[in-house]
């Protein structure tokens, strides 16, 4: 009786309930709401909603712990239910005190609603209607979740893209390949959240892989392992497979070789990708996780592969760039590089009021060396003088350039005129003292030098080269094998 009265009012509020189906935030919430509404609509009838679980070939509750159908009851009728299922009944079905209603839409047969009551036709229709609404709302949520996943993937791709872009930018900033390799490895490690990164390159002569850069490897570990071959860093020699197949590899739950060296076995996840240039594998990037950190997945492998292919291209470019910026005979920077570089130095000095000195060096009577001993011998002298200049300056701070035939320029940042004089004097003295051995001959040579410094020269920074060059001219005029400074010291 009571049910008769409440039923129409429930139907009356059905519109509101219908709308609420479409306001659920996720599928769990929707499930729960569906169960609640069916229970409310059917009054005090115990209801259970069960889904087929094709994986374990059984049925499971639609909402965990939320089905008032008791387990005993379920067992009692389970034989009937099985029959209902195996016969694939698609129509609502009445058992003695039970009603089973297929939970389906079209061919999408998910399970059934079970009520511990013989339901009326209109009640069954109401349940069927609710099932259809659930399917609609569920589809909508699925779409929303897919969209969110798409957005997330897109976000990740954009992130990858920005990684790729940052790699591309590195080439213009990196001063040399070594530095660039370090940056590439760093980007790889941070992008996929690796704990350790190793970069190996092939030694062109020995054709073996050499450890070039590491990231996240302690000095202690390195000094202990320095002499170890690649197979002792890398799980199961997977780099060989990577090199042979030119395909990246991802392995989970493998024993960390570093830990087994220490006498225990920790399980980690590793990735190894090839660096390929013109169909030639010239190195590998190897990354690993720490025990108890999340393992790598295929998305990580994808990211790393994209990164490594760009890194390869960038390295190739960097190689060309280095070739263009390095003089073949002397190994000093080229004039082309100087032109590119000096503008930045000038800017830095004026902007931050920094000191900058310049030395111009020219070999004395070099024409005579060529004329007397031949061009080849001249080349050897040039090379040796360049070596002396290189040794006389600070690594990574000063820049030595072969400016022309037998003329060199040295840029000395953060250096006063007095400091530049000391470097110039070192070069002058070392060349004067050196004997260049060319076969039977021992050749002596000297250099003349001109120096100038900013801001001591009292002129614009752009005049630095011209002032150093005029200083050199004065050294030549005054008899060679000497230094002239502008302003004079
Ligand atoms: P000064 O003391 O006035 O500088 O006299 P110099 O003979 O050194 O100067 P000059 O400019 O008359 O001659 C420079 C010579 O350097 C001429 C050129 O053939 C030679 N030279 C330039 N580049 C090279 C090179 O790459 N190898 C060799 N062997 N000689 C070169
Ligand atoms: Mg000369």
Give the Å distance between the CA of 434 and the centre of ligand 1: 19
Give the Å distance between the CA of 392 and the centre of ligand 2: 20
CB of 438 shorter than 6 A to ligand 1? no
* Residue 371 CA: distances (Å) to CA of 63, 368, 386, 435: 98, 5, 20, 18
Rounded CA separation 187/167 (Å) = 8
Residue pair 240/252 in contact (Cβ under 8 Å)? The answer is no
Rounded CA separation 161/435 (Å) = 56
* Residue 318 CA: distances (Å) to CA of 24, 59, 291, 310, 326: 54, 62, 36, 12, 12
pLDDT for residue 337 is more than 80:
yes
Give the Å distance between the CA of 405 and the centre of ligand 1: 6
Q: Is 481 helix (H, G, I), strand (E, B) or coil?
A: coil
pLDDT in tens, 139-178: 888 877 777 776 666 666 656 556 656 655 555 555 566 6
CB of 378 shorter than 6 A to ligand 1? yes
Give the Å distance between the CA of 406 and the centre of ligand 1: 5
pLDDT for residue 261 is more than 90:
no
Give the Å distance between the CA of 367 and the centre of ligand 1: 5
Pick from 41-55, 221-235, 278-292, 472-486 the range whose average pLDDT is largest: 472-486
CB of 335 shorter than 6 A to ligand 1? no
CB of 123 shorter than 6 A to ligand 1? no
CB of 406 shorter than 6 A to ligand 1? yes
Name the residue among 255, 292, 282, 283 with its Cα closest to residue 270. 255
What pLDDT is recorded for position 359? 98
Vertex 210, ends 216 and 228: CA angle to 5°? 70
φ and ψ at residue 33, rounded to 5 degrees: -65, -40
Residue pair 296/250 in contact (Cβ under 8 Å)? The answer is yes
Two structure tokens written together for 123: 């009640």
CB of 366 shorter than 6 A to ligand 1? yes
Query: Which of the two residues, 387 and 34, has the higher pLDDT score?
Result: 387
pLDDT for residue 399 is more than 90:
yes
Rounded CA separation 328/379 (Å) = 11
How does the average pLDDT of the chain come out, rounded? 81
Which ligand is nearest to the Cα of residue 481, counting in written order?
A: 1
Query: Which of the two residues, 265 and 67, has the higher pLDDT score?
Result: 265
Longest dimension (CA), the chain: 127
Rounded CA separation 177/282 (Å) = 14
Rounded CA separation 311/184 (Å) = 7
Q: Could you tell me which residues are beta bridge partners of residue 449?
A: 361, 483
CB of 286 shorter than 6 A to ligand 1? no
Give the Å distance between the CA of 476 and the centre of ligand 1: 14
Nearest-atom index, ligand 1, CA of 363: 8
Percent of the chain with pLDDT strictly greater than 70: 79
Residues with beta carbon < 5 A to ion ligand 2? 362-363, 366
Which ligand is nearest to the Cα of residue 364, counting in written order?
A: 1
Q: Is 412 helix (H, G, I), strand (E, B) or coil?
A: strand
Listed range (224-228, 245-249, 460-464) with the worst mean pLDDT: 224-228
Which ligand is nearest to the Cα of residue 375, counting in written order?
A: 1
Domains assigned to the chain: 2-144 (3.30.450.40), 175-323 (3.30.450.40), 335-486 (3.30.70.270)
Does 455 sit behind a cis peptide bond, omega within 30 degrees of 0 on the bond before it?
A: yes
Is residue 165 packed enough to be buried (19+ CB in 10 Å), middle (13-18) or exposed (0-12)? Answer: exposed
What pLDDT is recorded for position 1? 37
CB of 384 shorter than 6 A to ligand 1? no
What pLDDT is recorded for position 68? 57
Q: How many CB atoms lie within 10 A of CB 148?
A: 10
* Residue 206 CA: distances (Å) to CA of 201, 202, 217, 240: 11, 8, 25, 16
Pairing label, strands 399-402, 356-363: unpaired
pLDDT band at 7 (very low <50, low <70, confident <90, very high): very low
Give the Å distance between the CA of 468 and the centre of ligand 2: 15
What pLDDT is recorded for position 6? 47
Q: Is 6 helix (H, G, I), strand (E, B) or coil?
A: helix
pLDDT for residue 414 is more than 60:
yes
Is residue 277 packed enough to be buried (19+ CB in 10 Å), middle (13-18) or exposed (0-12)? Answer: middle
Listed range (213-227, 387-401, 462-476) with the worst mean pLDDT: 213-227
């Amino acid at each position: 009786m009571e049910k008769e009265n409440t039923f129409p009012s429930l139907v009356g509020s059905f519109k509101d309930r219908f709308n609420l189906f479409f306001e659920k935030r996720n599928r769990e919430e929707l499930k729960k709401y569906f169960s609640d509404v069916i229970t409310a609509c059917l009054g005090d009838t115990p209801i259970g909603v069960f889904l087929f679980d094709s994986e374990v070939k059984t049925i499971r509750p639609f909402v965990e712990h939320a089905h008032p159908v008791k387990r005993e009851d379920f067992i009692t009728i389970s034989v009937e239910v099985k029959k209902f299922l195996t016969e694939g009944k698609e129509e609502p079905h009445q058992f003695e005190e039970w009603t089973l209603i297929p939970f389906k839409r079209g061919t999408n047969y998910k399970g059934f609603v079970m009520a511990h009551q013989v339901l009326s036709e209109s009640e069954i229709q109401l349940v069927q209607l609710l099932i259809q609404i659930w399917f609609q709302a569920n589809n909508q949520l699925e779409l929303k979740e897919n969209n969110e996943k798409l957005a997330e993937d897109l976000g990740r791709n954009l992130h990858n893209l920005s990684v790729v872009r940052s790699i591309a930018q590195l080439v213009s900033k990196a001063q040399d390949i070594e530095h660039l390799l370090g940056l590439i490895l760093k980007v790889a490690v941070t992008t996929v959240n690796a704990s350790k990164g190793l970069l190996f390159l092939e030694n062109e002569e020995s054709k073996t892989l050499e450890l070039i850069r590491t990231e996240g490897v302690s000095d202690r570990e390195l000094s202990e392992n320095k002499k170890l071959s690649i197979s002792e860093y890398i799980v199961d020699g997977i780099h060989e497979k990577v090199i042979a197949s030119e395909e990246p590899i991802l392995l989970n739950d493998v024993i960390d070789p570093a830990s087994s060296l220490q006498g225990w076995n920790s399980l980690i996840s590793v990735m190894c990708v090839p660096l390929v240039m013109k169909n030639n594998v010239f190195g590998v990037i190897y990354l690993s996780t720490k025990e108890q950190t999340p393992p790598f997945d295929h998305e990580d492998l994808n990211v790393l592969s994209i990164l490594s292919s760009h890194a390869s291209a960038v390295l190739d470019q960097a190689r060309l760039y280095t070739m263009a910026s390095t003089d073949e005979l002397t190994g000093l920077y080229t004039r082309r590089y100087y032109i590119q570089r000096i503008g930045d130095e000038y800017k830095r000095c004026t902007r931050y009021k920094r000191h900058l000195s310049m030395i111009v060096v020219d070999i004395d009577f070099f024409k005579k060396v060529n004329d007397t001993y031949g061009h080849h011998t001249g080349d050897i002298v040039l090379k040796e003088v360049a070596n002396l200049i290189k040794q006389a300056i600070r690594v990574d701070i000063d820049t030595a350039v072969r400016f022309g035939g037998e003329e060199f320029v040295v840029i000395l940042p953060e250096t006063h005129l007095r400091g530049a004089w000391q470097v110039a004097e070192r070069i002058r003295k070392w060349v004067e003292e050196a004997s260049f051995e060319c076969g039977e001959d021992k050749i002596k040579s000297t250099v003349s030098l001109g120096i100038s410094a900013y801001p001591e020269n009292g002129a614009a920074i752009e005049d630095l080269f011209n002032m150093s060059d005029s200083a050199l001219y004065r050294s030549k005029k005054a008899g060679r094998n000497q230094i002239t400074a502008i302003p004079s010291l």
